[in-house]
Structure 1
Amino acid sequence: MNRPIQKRWLSMNKVKSVAEYREAVGGDKPTVVVFKTEWCKDCHYINPFMPDLVASYAQRLDFIEVDRDELPELCEENHVLGIPSFIVFQRAQEQGRFVSKLRKTREEIEAFLDETLTKAAQGEGER
């Protein structure tokens, strides 16, 4: 899952099917699933800082993108109503989530990722 990060963040890691999603979240390395859409203004708000954020966590986390309009069943399955939303999985088990209808800042996203990594290291991820 160590794919190169392109200028348009996550473009190579955009999930195109439910099967591809299941494979991505089933691995040993924690995977951050970013639920978003092309038309979402709050999703565009995070675009400028996401390449650096993804790069800074690349050793510890994989990142994939799920377009809510292309794979609505995954949003329903994961109870994602607001976008952008972030859910971390490891071995197909949810480890943490940052899901809300509110705009997210870089600092909030980093705090969520750090907290989730700390819990996972201590064996306290959501089960």
Structure 2
Amino acid sequence: MADLIQYYGTGRRKSSIARVFLRPGSGKFTVNKKDVDVYFVTPQQRVAARRSLGIAGIEETFDVLTTVRGGGVMGQADAVKLGIARALMEFNPELRKALKAEGLTTRDSRGKERKKYGQKGARARFQFSKR
């Protein structure tokens, strides 16, 4: 069997994890065995998922296969974006400078703040009553 050339990157955002595989092809983009336009419903999610490819300028060069789990759909789109950026840097390390200038090489580490005891939520308090 011929060697399969592919580049791998892992993307994370909040509680979403995306495994991204870039394979030489015609530009087909699938997320969890669905077309990207079917999986990501809003234009904002689609733009976020494709952003790394657009900056590198190679949308039609690679097929993108991703598996995503956990979190919400927007977090998943951002996880795919980071995974594609990491796979592109594996393919061509010279793309790092362009991707870094757009802020696509670092993980967004913001997550949900935990609920504290004696409070309604992370920051929300129970209503104070003097009497």
TM value normalised by structure 1 = 0.30
Higher relative contact order (CA 8 A, sep 6+): 2
TM value normalised by structure 2 = 0.29
